Amino acid sequence: MSVKKTIVDEDGNDITINDVNVGDVIPYKITSKVPATNGFESFTFVVRDKAGAGLTFDNKPVVKVGNDTLVRGVDYDVYAITIAEDGTVTRGEVIAEDAVVPDGQSFDIVFADFVALQAKYTFNAGDDIVITYNSTVNEAALTTIDGNKNEASILYSKDPANPDEPLG
């Protein structure tokens, strides 16, 4: 399974931005695919977004799977995460929808049970998962050639016989 993160224009088309200023809003799109959940009674799927200190997450993600728009707090939750220098990730509390998020806050979008979501909605394995949100360039933004890192990854259940096994 794969994940792709891009910056998009107002029409949702992927673009490249090389020049931003403090206060500029950057619209992001993360895409992946609905996992095959055959043999699973429950299937956890996580989209992890690692933000650099120079970006402030707007805390208003829109999650669409196939033709369905999912409901935050019902179909998925957004958790604050902390990433140590050695790469160790600690998941914190659910971020409330009306919360102001600190600069550089990384987060997980957690679908606790994709099997239940597939039964509730009309999507199938292989359909697109599209998450859109904005981040604002803040005062901690880097002005070097490397810019401000902001990357996405996915974690998911691997073995239907061991549902409590850590996500990979």
Q: What is the pLDDT of residues 36-58, one digit of tens each?
A: 888 888 899 999 999 888 899 99
Reply yes or no on whether the pLDDT at 144 is more than 90: no
Instruction: Strands of the chain (E only): list them.
Output: 4-8, 14-15, 25-33, 45-51, 55-57, 62-65, 68-69, 77-83, 89-94, 106-111, 128-137, 150-156
pLDDT score, position 87: 84
Strand partners, 47: 109, 154
Mean pLDDT for the chain? 87
CA atoms within 13 A on the CB side of 63: 20
131 pLDDT tier (thresholds 50, 70, 90)? very high
pLDDT score, position 12: 82
Secondary structure of residue 54 in the 3-state scheme: coil
Q: How far apart are CA 20 and CA 2, in angstroms?
A: 28
